[in-house]
Amino acid sequence: MQKTTFKISKMDCPSEEQMIRMKLADLTNINSLDFDIPNRQLTIFHTDNHDQIFQQLDNLKFDTTLIDSVSADNYTATTDSTSRERKLLWQVLAINFFFFALELTTGFISNSMGLVADSLDMLADSIVYGLALFAVGGTMTRKKNIAKSAGYFQLILAIFGFIEVVRRFVGLEQVPAFQTMITISLLALIGNGLCLYLLQKSKSKEAHMQASMIFTSNDVIVNLGVIVAGGLVYLTNSKYPDLIIGKIVFFIVGQGAFKILKLSK
């Protein structure tokens, strides 16, 4: 048995953890994965060498480097937690999908592309957690087919959203309702915090369980960006702060789509 530790510089939230789990799910020589998100490290107990594991991680483009690989003769297998993992994934999936629907609806009502874009960011997380559910006890072929469909769907939404932002830049559009932008984004921020709390609570036996609830995740940055944009809309009485944050978030959503598509390869 070998114990190999990797530094994954771009692993900064539970969504990326789930993507890594799915990417490595078809490697039969892996016995267990130990994630340390705050320190951006992943420790893997496995047989054989670590070359294939590193190749799979490197394909995700999360800036993976090898820290060390040592013998682990005293390794003991952990108990199966499939049922608990499924329950957790359903919880965070439900939270993300609820806020996707809320932000999408209120975004169109308030004429805010920032909220619409943020809703698609929440949808992206819902897709990741949904794919993880299929990966828990599911076949790899089914998981990859769903990943491909979900990735293309998300990419199409991001492209149409980006086009709509451009159209609104050059057209005459009503100034968004900043009150709705700020209120709904604050609720979404709480929702993201709850997801991170649940995911970290599930690692109660690990040293990093008490790590920061938010820790620089893209979701939280997006929420804060929409809140700031709402404040700027109020101060300037202009549509442009909302459109600028919408453009940025649609770009992030597009990047997420490409990451999901990588899982189908």
Residue predicted with more confidence, 103 or 88: 103
pLDDT confidence band for 143 (50 / 70 / 90)? low
Residue predicted with more confidence, 56 or 129: 56
Q: Is the separation of the CB atoms in 99 and 187 below 8 Å? A: yes
Residue predicted with more confidence, 132 or 17: 17
Query: Which residue type occupies 98?
Result: F
pLDDT confidence band for 93 (50 / 70 / 90)? confident
The tokens describing 81, both together, are: 């937690």
**Is residue 137 scored above 50 in pLDDT?**
yes
Q: Which of 92, 37, 95, 93 is nearest to 212 (CA)?
A: 37
pLDDT of residue 21: 82
Torsions phi, psi for 31 (to 5 deg) = -95, -40
Q: Give a yes or no: residue 233 inside a domain.
A: yes
Mark whether 170 and 98 lie in a shared domain: yes
Mark whether 219 and 132 lie in a shared domain: yes
Pick from 48, 71, 94: which residue ends a domain?
Answer: 71
Mark whether 169 and 193 lie in a shared domain: yes
Q: Give a yes or no: residue 44 inside a domain.
A: yes
Sign of CA dihedral 209, 210, 216, 220: positive
Q: Give a yes or no: residue 76 inside a domain.
A: no
Q: Is the separation of the CB atoms in 245 and 225 below 8 Å? A: yes
Q: Give a yes or no: residue 192 inside a domain.
A: yes
The verdict on pTM exceeding 0.85 is no
Residue-wise burial string across 51-75, b where 16 or more C-beta atoms lie within 10 A, e elsewhere: eebbebbeebebebeeeebeeeeee
Q: Is the separation of the CB atoms in 117 and 249 below 8 Å? A: yes
pLDDT confidence band for 201 (50 / 70 / 90)? low
**Is residue 265 scored above 50 in pLDDT?**
yes
Cα angle 2, 135, 65 (rounded to 5 degrees) comes to: 40
Q: Give a yes or no: residue 77 inside a domain.
A: no
pLDDT of residue 120: 84
Share of the chain above pLDDT 90, in %: 29
**Is residue 18 scored above 50 in pLDDT?**
yes
pLDDT confidence band for 141 (50 / 70 / 90)? low
Mark whether 181 and 124 lie in a shared domain: yes
Pick from 71, 95, 128: which residue ends a domain?
Answer: 71
Mark whether 168 and 217 lie in a shared domain: yes
Helix (H) or strand (E) holding 254: helix 240-262
**Is residue 1 scored above 80 in pLDDT?**
yes
**Is residue 209 scored above 50 in pLDDT?**
no
The tokens describing 246, both together, are: 């919408």
Mark whether 156 and 257 lie in a shared domain: yes
Q: What single string gives the DSSP state of each residue in 135-159?
A: HSSS-HHHHHHHHHHHHHHHHHHHH
Task: Look at the block and give the residue holding tokens 């480097």.
Answer: 65
pLDDT of residue 60: 87
pLDDT confidence band for 160 (50 / 70 / 90)? confident
**Is residue 3 scored above 80 in pLDDT?**
yes
Residue range of the domain that includes 58: 2-71
Residue-wise burial string across 3-27, b where 16 or more C-beta atoms lie within 10 A, e elsewhere: bbbbebeebbbbbbbbbbbbbbbee
Mean pLDDT of all residues in 150-161: 85
Mark whether 202 and 144 lie in a shared domain: yes
d(C-alpha 159, C-alpha 163), whole Å: 6
Mark whether 127 and 8 lie in a shared domain: no
Q: Give a yes or no: residue 66 inside a domain.
A: yes
Q: Name 43's bridge partners.
A: 5, 34
Mark whether 32 and 120 lie in a shared domain: no
Q: Give a yes or no: residue 190 inside a domain.
A: yes
Residue-wise pLDDT tens digits, 25-62: 778 899 888 888 778 999 999 988 899 999 999 988 89
pLDDT of residue 17: 78
pLDDT of residue 79: 53
Residues 6+ positions from 63 with CB-CB distance below 8 Å: 8, 9, 10
pLDDT of residue 23: 84
Mark whether 136 and 8 lie in a shared domain: no
Query: Which residue type occupies 143?
Result: K
**HSE (CB half, 13 Å, CA atoms) of 148?**
7
Pick from 71, 93, 110: which residue ends a domain?
Answer: 71
Mark whether 144 and 94 lie in a shared domain: yes
Give me the CATH number covering residue 30. Answer: 3.30.70.100
Mean pLDDT of all residues in 203-219: 41
Tally of domains within the chain:
2
pLDDT of residue 4: 94
Mark whether 147 and 227 lie in a shared domain: yes
**Is residue 134 scored above 70 in pLDDT?**
no
Task: Look at the block and give the residue holding tokens 């670590």.
Answer: 50
Q: Give a yes or no: residue 97 inside a domain.
A: yes
